[in-house]
């Protein structure tokens, strides 16, 4: 068992992230630098162990010439690293470590990229976080800038950090904000999946496509019957290799976020990203289960606030928005597609993964993969509960790695205590026949832990993750889940 079907899993009882510049504490034979960390670095050790478990360049493991990523990366390749930079602060009780990919994961991987590139070249590290993310504060809080500085001081590798957002949201106060729009220049390309999009079966409902905190009038310009385009960063389209370095968290709208969901950040403008369809599932949409006048009013107020341009209007709608929130606090609070019946976001997630895999440098969709993808999933400190923006810290001490985002996420879901059938982007991802993301059967996935095991028999011996409120019933009512599954199939 090898290649796309193998997932490496490594765990340590030392659950902490090392200080910058995140160098290993052990002088490994292949380590190309003189800098050694003053204290243990379990993250570096876990990433390295995963590369060994995947069998990469196994004949030279333990030697100074070991080059595990040499099978993926060649000198002169364009390499892009895609971390998860969603937000600069955890809005819940947890830490930033539960929210975003930690830079120590990136540094560990980059050392092996440096070896594979022939010890020179350029690597771009980029993402499109939420519009309200203060990227400079995030980089400062986690010492991200120490990474490009380290390579500048010790090597000929140029590491560039990039913010791929085209719309920013600056909060002036708790009630007012201002928006900054950046030009969609030649750094981005509109990639249209057309009728191959997984959104096409529900495109009859395109006028109800929504993404929270963005102008609802923008989405129908990019998604309607026969047209489904995404604003993709050219860095991704022109890459020879993408290193998908994700964070493992629970997610209100998708159940979990890992490697698949991480590719949503290759899209520069969130108004190209349907996250749910406004209205109740009982009427063919998926924002919340049953018709609720108060929730409908709440959504209307929220949308008026999002498009308001004057400060006075923003204040008015922000205050009015709190009224239905207070009433709903005593009952069913599911809103904005934040529940297991969300039938939209999985389609967007899988569309973007297919683009990352099959779109060429000009955005044309090909029948064969256009680049190589390698995944590392950071679960040293994972996020549980109300992720992705308010997760609680779950100290797992784990790292996953593999060649296929779908396979890695399937193993991570099992680690979380979830099955493939409970996470729509996993279940539907394995069912794809057009532009597939996995070319074998699910039962061929192997997890390389202390020994190689089939995914369906692998037991990580870890307690299940706490799920968001809208997903806690996903295990309780098979009948209810079946109802929404049948509703989804009727829409298609």
DSSP 295: H
Query: Which token pair is 78?
Result: 């364009």
Q: What is the largest CA-CA distance in the chain?
A: 67
DSSP 486: H
**Paired sense of beta strands 6-11 and 446-448, if any:** parallel
Contacts with 197 (C-beta within 8 Å, 6 or more apart), sequence order: 203, 223, 228, 347, 351
In this structure, the dihedral spanned by the alpha carbons of residues 317, 323, 329 and 334, taken in order and rounded to 10 degrees, is -40
Please name which of 187, 192, 170, 166 lies closest in space to residue 179, comparing C-alpha atoms.
170
Query: Which token pair is 290?
Result: 């049953």
Instruction: For residues 41 and 19, give the distance between their C-alpha atoms in angstroms, rounded to a whole number.
Output: 9
Could you read off the pLDDT of 276-324 as tens digits, one per residue? 999 999 999 999 999 999 899 889 888 887 877 788 887 776 787 777 7
Instruction: For residues 467 and 109, give the distance between their C-alpha atoms in angstroms, rounded to a whole number.
Output: 30
Chain mean position to CA 140: 21
Sign of CA dihedral 17, 116, 11, 350: positive
Find where tokens 């990523």 sit.
69
Supply the pLDDT for residue 338. Answer: 96
User: Who wins on pLDDT, 77 or 167?
Assistant: 77
Statement: residue 174 has pLDDT above 90: no
Q: Assign 431 a pLDDT band (cuts: 50, 70, 90).
A: very high
Query: Which token pair is 90?
Result: 């955890």
Mean pLDDT (whole number) for 119-131 = 97
Q: What SS3 state is found at 305? A: helix
Whether 88 contacts 98, CB under 8 Å: no
User: Who wins on pLDDT, 29 or 485?
Assistant: 29
């Amino acid at each position: 068992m090898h290649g796309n079907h193998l997932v490496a899993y490594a765990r340590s009882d030392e659950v902490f992230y090392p200080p910058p510049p995140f160098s290993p504490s052990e002088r490994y034979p292949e380590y190309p630098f003189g800098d050694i960390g003053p204290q243990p670095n379990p993250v570096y050790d876990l990433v390295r162990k995963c590369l060994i478990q995947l069998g990469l360049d196994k004949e030279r493991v333990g030697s100074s010439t070991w080059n595990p990523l040499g099978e993926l990366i060649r000198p002169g390749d364009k390499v892009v690293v895609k971390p998860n930079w969603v937000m600069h602060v955890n809005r819940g009780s947890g830490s930033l470590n539960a929210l975003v990919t930690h830079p120590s994961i990136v540094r560990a991987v980059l050392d092996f990229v440096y070896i594979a590139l022939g010890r020179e070249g350029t690597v771009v590290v980029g993402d499109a976080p939420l519009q309200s993310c203060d990227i400079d504060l995030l980089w400062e809080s986690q010492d991200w800038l120490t990474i490009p500085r380290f390579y500048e001081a010790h090597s000929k590798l140029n590491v560039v950090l990039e913010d791929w957002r085209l719309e920013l949201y600056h909060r002036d106060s708790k009630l007012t904000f201002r928006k900054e729009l950046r030009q969609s220049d030649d750094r981005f390309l509109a990639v249209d999946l057309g009728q191959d999009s997984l959104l096409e079966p529900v495109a009859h409902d395109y006028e109800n496509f929504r993404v929270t905190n963005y102008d609802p009038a923008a989405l129908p310009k990019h998604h309607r019957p026969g047209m489904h385009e995404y604003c993709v960063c050219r860095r991704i389209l022109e890459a020879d290799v993408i290193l998908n370095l994700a964070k493992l968290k629970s997610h209100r709208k998708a159940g979990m976020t890992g490697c698949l969901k991480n590719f949503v950040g290759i899209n520069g403008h969130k108004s190209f990203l349907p996250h749910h369809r406004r209205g109740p599932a009982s009427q063919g949409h998926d924002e919340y289960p049953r018709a609720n006048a108060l929730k409908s009013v709440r959504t209307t107020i929220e949308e008026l606030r999002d498009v308001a341009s004057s400060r006075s209007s923003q204040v008015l709608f922000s205050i009015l928005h709190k009224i239905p929130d207070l009433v709903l606090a005593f009952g069913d609070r599911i809103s904005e597609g934040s529940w297991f019946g969300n039938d939209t976001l999985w389609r967007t997630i899988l569309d973007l993964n297919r683009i990352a895999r099959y779109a060429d440098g000009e955005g044309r969709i090909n029948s064969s993969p256009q680049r190589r993808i390698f995944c590392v999933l950071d679960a040293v400190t994972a996020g549980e509960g109300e992720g992705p923006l308010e997760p609680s810290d779950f100290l797992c001490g784990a790292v996953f790695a593999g060649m296929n985002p779908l396979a890695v996420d399937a193993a991570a879901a099992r680690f979380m205590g979830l099955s493939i059938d409970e996470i729509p982007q996993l279940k539907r991802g394995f069912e794809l026949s057009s532009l597939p993301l996995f070319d074998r059967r699910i039962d061929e996935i192997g997890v390389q832990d202390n020994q190689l095991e089939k995914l369906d028999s692998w037991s990580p011996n870890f307690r299940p993750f706490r799920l968001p409120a809208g997903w806690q019933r996903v295990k309780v009512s098979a009948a209810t889940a079946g109802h929404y599954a049948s509703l989804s199939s009727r829409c298609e």
